[in-house]
Structures are given as structure tokens and as C-alpha cells.
Amino acid sequence: MPIYLIYLVLNLKLLYMPIINDDHFLSYCAALVTVSAVVGAPLWGYIGDIKGFKFTLMVLVLLDCFVKLFGIYCS
């Protein structure tokens, strides 16, 4: 699990509670991040075994950039 996800999950309520002010929503977000990490790790491992490390890393970086750009421009 990347270090920023660990930091985000550990400090989720501290960082976002003043902004969002909905404890149930933040708990659902934390659960979603955990489930996606559990499902994603074997999936990326399987794709890495089939396609190779460089291709898998390129796909992961492109998806990560897309998600971050989408997060910046959605607000």
C-alpha cells in the first residue's frame, strides 16, 4: 500500500471532518479505499505477471494521473 494512502486513511477524519462534516460518509470512503486496495493488489500482480513490470507500471501511472487530474478539475 502506498504511503500516501496509509497517511490518508489514518488521518481521514482529522483532515476532512472540518470540510465535509459527515462522519458516515467519511467512514464509507475509508472502507471503499480499503476494499479497492485489497482487490487491486492481486489484480495488478496478475497483470504484472502477464504483461510485465514496465507495462503495468505505465498503466498504473497513467490511471493515477487521470484520477488526480479529474479530482483537481471536478471541484
- pLDDT for 73: 86
* Angle between helix 23-51 and 53-73 (nearest 10): 150
2, 40 contact by CB (below 8 A): no
Is pLDDT at 16 greater than 70 in this prediction? yes
pLDDT digits (tens, 9 = 90+) for 32-56: 888 888 888 898 889 889 999 899 8
Residue 5 CA: distances (Å) to CA of 26, 50, 55: 14, 26, 23
